[in-house]
Amino acid sequence: MTRILIAEDEQRIATFVDKGLKGNGFSTAIVGDGDAALEFALTGGFDLIVLDIGLPGRDGFSVLRALREAHVGTPVIVLTARDSVRDTVAGLEGGADDWMTKPFRFEELLARVRLRLRTGDRSPEVTVLKAGDLALDLRTRRAQVGALTIDLTAREFVLLELFLRHPGQVLTRGQILSHVWGYDFDPGSNVVDVYVRALRKKLGDRRIETVRGMGYRLP
Ligand code: CA
């Protein structure tokens, strides 16, 4: 199983990333300071590291430099709240493979994680998700129902991908919000219902079931 180290001291973000990665089949470990991050990264046999820059103790830049000096080539995705160009460039020069500015949507992080892991792994990748006569092409980002091709907006695509990756499973509004819109979204928002309605309009009414008091499900 692919192992990912999450070095993040903000509990809310660490949990958000951890849940999302586990839900997508990754094995994870969380550390909350720079010294633990370096120790785990050096000895833990991780396939990828998600590294916050603003860590207590040793900061993320220092962890990154120490790793590269030790010739540890594990892919690193840097998380930064400091969205200045200078810090980002410094991070990349320090050997980061990619970076994300907070706040971010989980889906964006997941795409980068997959991309970084793929660089070193040539295993064939699933590019079309299917459920009955419904198919979603992950490259063209278009849905297909029978012979009919359907264009989706960016959010509709992410939402449908989420349903297709969890067929038969009830997804709560909270799960959908955090996956598609990110952790900073207002939990009282009805945006999930609005987008489910939009998907039904495009794909057919019975495609996504409402499970009363719980959420939605792809039957
Ligand atoms: Ca931090």
Q: Measured between alpha carbons, how far is 184 from 31 in angstroms, rounded to an integer?
A: 22
Q: CB within 8 A of 58, min separation 6: which ones?
A: 33, 34, 35, 37, 38, 66
Q: Measured between alpha carbons, how far is 50 from 172 in angstroms, rounded to an integer?
A: 26
Q: CB within 8 A of 46, min separation 6: which ones?
A: 3, 4, 5, 29, 40, 74
Q: Which of 83, 63, 56 is nearest to 5 (CA)?
A: 63
Per-residue pLDDT at 122 = 43
pLDDT along the chain (219 residues), means of 10: 95 95 94 96 90 92 88 87 60 72 88 80 65 89 92 90 88 84 72 94 92 92
CA of 81 to the centre of ligand 1 (A): 8
CA of 88 to the centre of ligand 1 (A): 15
What is this structure's pTM? 0.56
What backbone torsions phi and psi does residue 62 show, to the nearest 5 degrees?
Answer: -65, -40
CA of 64 to the centre of ligand 1 (A): 15
CB burial of 107-122 (b: ≥16 within 10 Å; e: otherwise) equals bebbebbeebbeeeee
Per-residue pLDDT at 123 = 45
Q: Measured between alpha carbons, how far is 47 from 112 in angstroms, rounded to an integer?
A: 13
CA of 215 to the centre of ligand 1 (A): 32
Q: Which residues pair with 172 in a beta bridge?
A: 215
CB 24 within 8 A of CB 45: no
Look at the domain 128-217 and name its fold. Answer: Arc Repressor Mutant, subunit A (1.10.10)
Instruction: Give the largest CA-CA distance in the chain.
Output: 57
- Strand 148-151, strand 128-131: pairing: unpaired
Tokens, residue 86: 């200078």
Domain boundaries, given as residue ranges, for the chain: 3-121, 128-217
CATH of 3-121, one of 3.40.50.2300, 3.40.50.970, 3.40.50.720, 1.25.40.10: 3.40.50.2300
CA of 50 to the centre of ligand 1 (A): 12
Per-residue pLDDT at 17 = 96
Instruction: Return the amino acid letter for 166.
Output: H
Q: Which of 136, 133, 156 is nearest to 145 (CA)?
A: 133
CA of 54 to the centre of ligand 1 (A): 4
